[in-house]
Structures are given as C-alpha cells and as structure tokens.
C-alpha cells in the first residue's frame, strides 16, 4: 500500500514513522522543505520536531509533487488554518482513487469541520477522519495508542485496518464523522479549564468535580452541533478529553495552568498557544446553541475571561456546578414520525435532563377534526423507543397543560414556532420557548405524497 503523509510536523512525522513499522506499507512523508527531506532520507531524523529520536529506516521523504500521484492513501497532517489552500495547490496531483485520512483538528465558521470543508472545496468524498488521545512523542515511542476512525464505507475501514496492522496503533470506529471532528476541538476548551483548576486548587476532589461537569458540557455541545452522543464514549471522546485535560504534555492544559497561577498576560496576540485556546472558545461560543447556553457555565466562564482580558480567572463553584434538575415538556400528534419530529424532540431534550412528550389521543383528535394514520398506542410506542424521550403522556383536551406542568414539575415548555405566542400564558408557571420547524417537512405534506403514490 502506497501511503503519503502530508505535513512534516510533529504529528505527521510520528504517524508516518509508526505506519512504516508495517513493512507492507510504503510510507512517504511529503514536505516542502528540501532540507528536512534530505535529513529524513540520509540521517533518519527530524530534529526540528524530535531532537533525540531516530526514525525507522523504512520511512522516506520527498518534496517532489509527482510522488503524490502514486499514493493510494493520503494522510493529512497540516495546520487547519492552511489546510484548504495547501490541498488546492496539490489537488491536480491526487490519485482519483485515493483514500484521504484527516488527522488535522479544527472547526471553521458556522461549525464547518475540516472534513466538510475538504469535501466542499475540493470535491473529495472518499475521506475519513482519525482522532484520539495521542501525543506525538508517545507515538514515536511506539506506545500502544487507540484512535477513533470516523468512516463511511466498509472498504474504507478495511484499508485503515490493514494499514495499522503490526503497528502500535489501534482503532475503534463510528460512522459519525462529524462527531469525531467536533470532539477534537471541544476537548481543548475543557483541558484549559482543568488546567486552571489544578493550578489554583491542586485537589483531586475538585479536579474530578470539574472533569465531570466538563464531560456533561461536551455532551451537550456534541449533540447541539450535530454529533452522536455515542461518539463521546469512544477514544476520540472520553479518552481524548481525559488525556488532554489531565496530562501536562497538553498545550491547552499548560495554558490553563499558566492562567491559574496568574501568569496570563492580556497582551497575548503573539502567543500562538493562547490564541489557539482563545479562538476555540470564541468560535464555539459564537455558535447558535439552541437555547442551551445557560447549561454551559464552564464555556461561558472561559469566554467571559478572555473577553475581559483579565489576568486571573476567578471560579465560583456554586455558579459553575450547582444546578437544578430540569424537566422539559412538549406536545404534538406525532403521526407518521419523521425527521422534523425527531429534530424538535432532539433539540427539546438538550434543554434539560428529562423530556416529557404529550401526544393527542384518538378521541382528542376526533374533537379537533384530525385523522391519524397510526392509533394513539402505536404513536406512543414509537416515541417511547426514542432515546430523546423519557416519558409519554396522553393529551385529552386543550386545557390540561397547566395541570401537566404542575404535576410533572416542568421547567421548560417547548412548541414549534407555528404556535408562536399562543402559549405565553404558561410563562406564569415555567419558561416557554418556540422552536423553528424543520423546513420542507410536515406530516400533511407526507400524507399528500403517500396519497399520490397510492
């Protein structure tokens, strides 16, 4: 298998070196620096990245763009800030059949991931992502390392599995490519706050209290940004969050330690590590987070700190940690359950800890002049099968909402914005929100389509 690694930095070098341990791989490291290429080929070192390490004799390097054409698999280990412009320059040299593996971490405006940006700007669809708890220096030491492969097809999985054979690299897998990409950025934010806490308090109790809260916030953000909650329990999630937050080799944790010790300077424009952490916090904080921002006190605290340019980050645990259990309530008919229903239920579930859904009974639908394809019991069973939904209750009449709110200790009432203003009287009892409906999807439209197909 001909493998090309784009990027002669620390992680690109480490991965290329480890992949070359598998002698069935022909691994070439591509660098624009002829000096670095000559050093790797002659001395088997890359001293600018690893001053005291030797590379395997099986790894070669090149600056010749024509070598790119031979690659069956292209690993991308470039800084996310320059990744697209560099790939566009090299685009004409890529093999049309090549599989691309993204190692780079970052998010762009509107939450676009590196993989999504590559797909959009270069039209590349045969691409996977590989992320996880992996310090480059450890990979160079051949330490056993678990990474998460975000992939689309079994063929892609088989290629990566073959490539890592007989190396110290191992993989767990998911088809949630977006989730893997998002988590690679989120963990840096919370590594920063863990560094602050360890510097200020040096207490295992306090450290793991904040880590628990960080894990909760990452879960909320992951779901809000379109990732799957299950991805959080893979190497790219729990593993990477813990390693980056608790190990002093982490740059973002180190930044947190400096802030916690009071060594942070408001004049940070020339410090790339500070800017990396600042940019991640500001970018994620700028996303439209579906009314969940109040459930992200750690993120909000970091954003407030950087925005104020203060030198000391003060922590009030009562405000950051203590919170009331929240229950959310919504209503609907939920006939012909579709993506629009799932989306509003998903977003509603993010607002609290428990989601209760009231669905119209068959008798109530008759009073409203509504005909359902599915009877109440079937609609109830469908909703109960969803992870988003914790409890389903019957809706028998228009007037029961106040009673339901009081009986179930509801904190937030949610409906689609086609009901905007019609339930404002419930604000006396709980918070009331109206979500935008999913465009182009409705039960009525689906029923019309089904009738046309009959």
The pLDDT assigned to 446 comes to: 37
The pLDDT assigned to 340 comes to: 82
Query: Could you list the active site residues?
Result: 368, 370
Q: What is the pTM of this model?
A: 0.83
Contact call for residues 181 and 131 (beta carbons, < 8 A): yes
Q: pLDDT below 50 — which residues of the chain?
A: 441-454
Residues 194-241: pLDDT tens digits?
999 999 999 999 999 999 999 999 999 998 898 999 999 999 999 999
The pLDDT assigned to 441 comes to: 46
Residues 139-194: pLDDT tens digits?
999 999 999 999 999 999 999 999 999 999 999 999 999 999 999 999 999 999 99
Domains parsed from the chain with CATH numbers? 2-175 (3.40.50.720), 179-320 (1.10.1040.10), 327-453 (3.40.50.620)
């Amino acid at each position: 298998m001909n493998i090309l690694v784009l990027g002669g930095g620390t992680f690109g070098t480490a991965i290329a070196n480890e992949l070359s341990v598998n002698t069935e791989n022909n691994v070439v490291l591509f660098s624009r620096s002829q000096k670095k290429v000559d050093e790797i080929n002659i001395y088997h070192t890359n001293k600018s990245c690893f001053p005291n390490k030797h590379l395997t004799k099986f790894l070669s390097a090149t600056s010749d763009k024509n070598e790119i054409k031979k690659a069956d698999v292209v690993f991308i280990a470039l800084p996310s800030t320059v990744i697209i412009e560099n790939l566009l320059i090299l685009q004409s040299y890529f093999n049309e059949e090549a599989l691309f593996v993204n190692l780079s971490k970052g998010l762009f405006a509107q939450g676009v991931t590196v993989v999504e940006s590559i797909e959009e700007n270069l039209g590349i669809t045969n691409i996977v992502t590989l992320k996880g708890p992996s310090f480059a220096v450890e990979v160079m030491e051949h330490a056993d390392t678990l990474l998460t492969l975000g992939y689309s097809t079994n063929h892609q999985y088989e290629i990566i599995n073959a490539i890592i054979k007989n190396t110290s690299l191992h993989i767990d897998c998911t088809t949630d490519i977006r989730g893997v990409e998002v988590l690679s950025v989120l963990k840096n934010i919370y590594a920063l706050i863990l560094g602050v806490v360890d510097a200020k308090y040096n207490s295992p109790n306090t450290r793991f209290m904040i880590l628990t809260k960080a894990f909760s916030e990452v879960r909320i953000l992951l779901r809000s940004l379109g990732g799957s909650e299950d991805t959080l329990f893979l190497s790219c999630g729990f593993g990477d969050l813990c390693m980056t937050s608790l190990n002093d080799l982490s740059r973002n944790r180190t930044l947190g330690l400096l802030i916690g010790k009071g060594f942070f300077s408001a004049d940070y424009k020339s410090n790339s590590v500070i800017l990396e952490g600042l940019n991640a916090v500001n970018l994620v904080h700028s996303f439209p987070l579906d009314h969940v921002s109040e459930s992200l006190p750690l993120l909000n605290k970091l954003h407030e700190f950087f925005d104020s340019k203060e030198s000391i980050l003060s922590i009030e645990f009562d405000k950051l940690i203590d919170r009331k259990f929240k229950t959310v309530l919504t209503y609907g008919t939920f006939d012909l359950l579709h993506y629009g229903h799932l989306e509003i239920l998903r977003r509603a579930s993010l607002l609290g800890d428990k989601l209760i859904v009231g669905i119209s009974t068959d008798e109530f639908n008759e009073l409203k002049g509504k005909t359902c394809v599915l009877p109440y019991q079937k609609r109830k069973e469908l909703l109960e099968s969803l992870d988003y939904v914790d409890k389903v209750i019957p809706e028998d009449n228009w007037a029961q909402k106040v009673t339901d709110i009081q009986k179930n200790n509801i904190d937030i009432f949610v409906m689609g914005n086609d009901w905007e203003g019609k339930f404002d009287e419930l604000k006396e009892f709980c918070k009331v929100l109206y979500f935008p409906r999913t465009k182009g999807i409705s039960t009525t439209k689906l029923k019309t389509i089904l009738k046309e197909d009959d």
